[in-house]
Amino acid sequence: MIRVKGGRPLQGTVQAAGSKNAALPAVMASLLTTSPVSIANVPHLLDVDSA
């Protein structure tokens, strides 16, 4: 878990490795924002295709 404290909104990009263990949490985390999210370099897994 990453906890961010402060009064400024976060913005920017993150480049993470396309591992099977990181794909599903990244997809679920994208639901927490109303802004457009682009997730690339995701392996083709049944869990990811179902999300």
Q: What is the pLDDT of residues 1-46, one digit of tens each?
A: 667 778 787 788 777 766 777 777 888 888 988 988 888 877 776 7
Alpha carbon dihedral 22, 37, 8, 13, in 10-degree steps, equals: 60
Backbone angles phi, psi at 20, to 5 degrees: -65, -30
To the question of pTM greater than 0.85 for the whole model, the response is no
